[in-house]
Amino acid sequence: VSPRTLATLVAVLVGLSWGYARTIVGDVINFVVNLFLVIPALPLMIVIAAYLHNGGIGMIVLVVVITGWATG
């Protein structure tokens, strides 16, 4: 499964949760989504990958999913 597919799946789950949560939880999800949309993905990927010392393909997939879910 490609990292972009996993990121899209995470984005769908966050979007569905956001749609059903009309309370403070929805506001928190809104803040997190806006935060990930404002931060540029490539520099964030580089910073996260630099802190993960024993990388590998699994860590690269995880970094792409973490940084790319907001753009779907």
Residue 54: the pLDDT is: 77
Report whether 62 contacts 7 (CB < 8 A): no
Output the six-digit token pair for 52. 């993960």
pLDDT tens for the chain, 72 residues: list them: 788 888 888 888 888 888 887 788 888 888 988 888 888 888 888 888 888 877 788 888 888 888 887 776
Domain count, the chain: 1
Residue 45: the pLDDT is: 83
Helix 24-38 vs helix 3-20: angle between axes, to the nearest 10 degrees? Answer: 150
Residue 72: the pLDDT is: 65
Residues making up the chain, counted from first to last: 72
Q: Dihedrals φ, ψ of 43, to 5°?
A: -60, -35
Domain that holds residue 18: 3-68
Output the six-digit token pair for 2. 């490609």
